[in-house]
Amino acid sequence: MEVEEIRGWLAEITEPFDIIYVSGDTDSFAPPRANKGIELLKALSQFGTDLLFTTRALLQEDHLNELKEISRHLRDRRKLLFGCVSVAQLTFPHLEPPPIAAPFARLEQLRRFHEDGLIAVLAVRPFLPLVPVKEYIHIVHRAQDYADIVLGEAWYADEAGVLEHKVFRGDVPPNIPFVEHPMDFDDNEVIWKVFEANEAQAGVAEYCQSIGVPFFMRSRPAIEWARAEFSQSATGSLGTKAM
């Protein structure tokens, strides 16, 4: 769909909604779509809701400046722009192969989001069984001065084993616990192998608590936290995080 088609489709929705996500299995801001992605955010900013976008692409300076303006536009209307950057590994590059940029370069872009007034969301998700807990904690440690929110998530793998084969580059090691059920955040009825990664979840949650950065396993409670935590002045500038 073109931007105007998406805008028109949303304009016809009668059920109330208070946030729009630009997220999914494909990156709306990866080359050559970056211009279109920014254009889409501009169009969506007219709906009077919060906006959240997710990307692993490195944006050009003019795009970053446009995001800053979109954020300012939303703050003037007491709304928030959430910029979510995914960094799921440091030492397993096959999980984020080229042309995805290096993890630390993406973290620097997250810093820029924070400096420009966006709500900077670090997504260390999904928690994968082959990535050690200390690696996830190190990612958070690198971003702790500018990540406003940290998100984790269980890993949903298909029952046919296609995703597992790609992640492990072969057979799945034995004795990795999982459960089987549909996605609890979607209405499709497909059964998935769900690797809950309780150790990673607990380790990252404990570290985030120690440094005062909120950690969530779902984006909705993270959004509610940000709405309560970030005050907005009459001029639209974000207040500081309460400590």
Do 66 and 30 have their domain in common? Answer: yes
pLDDT of 241 higher than 80: no
Decide if 237 is inside a domain: no
* Domain hosting residue 203, numbered range: 3-154+197-229
Do 187 and 71 have their domain in common? Answer: no
- Pair of tokens at residue 27: 């990156």
Decide if 240 is inside a domain: no
Quickly state the pLDDT bin for 230 (edges 50, 70, 90). confident
Q: What would the DSSP string read from start to end of 18-78?
A: SEEEE-SSS-TTSTTSHHHHHHHHHHHGGGSSEEEEEE-SPPPHHHHHHHHHHHHHHHHTT
Q: What is the pLDDT of residue 183?
A: 87
What confidence tens digit (pLDDT) does each residue in 120-179 have? 999 999 999 999 999 999 999 999 999 999 999 999 999 999 999 999 998 888 888 999
We report the CATH number of the domain holding residue 114 as: 3.80.30.30
What confidence tens digit (pLDDT) does each residue in 84-120 have? 999 999 999 999 999 999 999 999 999 999 999 999 9
Do 123 and 47 have their domain in common? Answer: yes
Q: What is the pLDDT of residue 239?
A: 46
Q: Which helix (H) or strand (E) holds 136?
A: helix 133-143
Residue predicted with more confidence, 232 or 216 = 216
Answer whether 146's CB lies under 8 Å from 120's CB: yes
Do 8 and 71 have their domain in common? Answer: yes
What confidence tens digit (pLDDT) does each residue in 186-219 have? 777 889 999 999 999 999 999 999 999 999 999 9
Do 12 and 107 have their domain in common? Answer: yes
Do 150 and 183 have their domain in common? Answer: no
Answer whether 3's CB lies under 8 Å from 37's CB: no
Decide if 73 is inside a domain: yes
What confidence tens digit (pLDDT) does each residue in 45-87 have? 999 999 999 999 999 999 999 999 999 999 999 999 999 999 9
Q: What is the pLDDT of residue 240?
A: 44
Q: What is the pLDDT of residue 58?
A: 97
Decide if 7 is inside a domain: yes
Do 211 and 123 have their domain in common? Answer: yes
Q: What is the pLDDT of residue 25?
A: 74
Mean of the per-residue pLDDT values of the chain: 92
Identify the burial level of 43 via C-beta atoms within 10 angstroms of its C-beta, where 0-12 means exposed, 13-18 middle and 19 or more buried: middle
pLDDT of 243 higher than 50: no
Provide the domain count of the chain. Answer: 2
The pTM of the full predicted model, rounded to 2 decimals, is 0.92
Do 92 and 163 have their domain in common? Answer: no
Q: What is the pLDDT of residue 231?
A: 61
Answer whether 54's CB lies under 8 Å from 84's CB: yes
